[in-house]
Amino acid sequence: MERTVYYGQKTIFGDKIISSIGYDEQAMIRDILYLHANGNYIDCDPTYSIGNFYKEGLPKPKYIFDKTPQIKGVIEASSDNIPLDDEMCNVIMFDPPFVMNGEDHEWVKKGSNIITRRFSSFKSFDELKEMYSNSLVEFYRILKKDGIVIFKCQDSVSSAKQHFSHCWIMNEAIKIGFYPKDLFILLAKARLTDSRKQQHARKYHSYYWVFQKKECKVNYAHKIKK
């Protein structure tokens, strides 16, 4: 069945103005597709989970994978080793874990570390970086020319240290060959918390990077004058 392209809401002035911030995740994804997907919908999701992104009318991707499938029909595969040939996809949705916590989930005290209990986590920032980097390399391989990755991410605090993951992700994507075409910020009115003493500002937002498989148009390298 041919998919209908989403063109956004019309106003008396023409197409609606698309904002870089918002509270509605579904609307934000549709806006990203409208601006940057060249008429295509998401055709690959390597972190599908139970498919929450697609429960409000967004078409289900043709290729759905997960490292630990939770529902029928999802193929078991890691995001850094996807069983697809080169240049098969136009749009990839990537929503990996972002929490860093070296403790085994089974030993986390009941009632604490709620975020870690609900979502998967990494043992360290190095482990997170390795998984993210290897996945971006794999996405570059399976994307067609000018295809995009929609990369949902969030910064984290681990061992009382702030990790601005979204900054590292952009730099790594550029090294791999992507152009960071856009950045959206999804706001939340409430967040899950844990019982540990707060040492940094509570984060009420996550990011949606849009990376395109093309030469970067901006030179982000900086040379210090001597």
State yes or no: pLDDT of 198 exceeds 80: no
Count of CB atoms situated within 10 Å of the CB of 55: 10
Work out how many domains the chain is built from and give that number: 1
Cα–Cα distances (Å) from 20 to 56, 104, 182, 206, 208, in that order, read 21, 37, 9, 12, 9
Contact, 176 vs 80, CB < 8 A?
A: no
Give residue-wise pLDDT tens across range 28-54.
999 999 999 999 999 999 999 999 999
Residue 137 lies in a domain: yes
In a domain, 223, yes or no: no
Domain that holds residue 49: 10-212
CATH number reported for the structural domain that contains residue 155 in this entry: 3.40.50.150
* 115, part of any domain: yes
pLDDT on residue 107: 38
pLDDT tens string 61-107: 999 999 999 999 999 999 999 999 999 999 999 999 867 565 544 43
Q: What is the mean pLDDT of the chain?
A: 83
Please indicate, yes or no, if residue 219 is contained in any of the structural domains.
no
For residue 152, is pLDDT > 90?
Answer: yes
Q: Would residue 179 count as lying in a domain?
A: yes
Classify residue 3: in a domain, yes or no.
no
Higher pLDDT, residue 131 or 204: 131
Angle between helices 165-176 and 125-142 (to 10 degrees): 40
With respect to residue 222, please indicate whether it lies within any of the assigned structural domains. no
C-alpha 206/C-alpha 153 separation (Å) is: 6
Span 163-189, pLDDT tens digits:
778 999 999 999 999 999 999 999 987
Pick the most confident of 58-67, 107-116, 125-134. 58-67
